[in-house]
Amino acid sequence: MPGMVVNVAVSPGELVVKGQKLLMLEAMKIQTIIAAEHDAIISEVRVYPGTQVETGDLLITTEPAD
């Protein structure tokens, strides 16, 4: 979804669990929470608050959690 990153709730190296909030996007005054689809370790955060994003942009990369 095209929009703007409102906040980023994780940082590289952090362990996240399924359903945990990763970041929040805003498009047309509607805020959407992006949550983890599975347990993982955050490898890289490629956006910051205020970043404009488009459909298909890579926002966060993860590694499987052991």
| pTM to 2 decimal places | 0.90
Count of CB atoms within 10 A of residue 58's CB? 9
The residue type of 50 is G
| φ/ψ (deg, to 5) at 42 | -75, 120
Q: What's the pLDDT at 66?
A: 77
Q: What is the predicted pLDDT for the residue at 14?
A: 97
* Calpha distance 21→5 (Å, rounded): 13
Segment 16-38, tens digit of pLDDT: 999 999 999 999 999 999 999 99
Structure tokens belonging to residue 38: 């599975």
Enter the CATH code of domain 1-46.
Answer: 2.40.50.100
3-state secondary structure of 1: coil
Angle value at C-alpha 33, between 18 and 19, nearest 5 degrees: 10
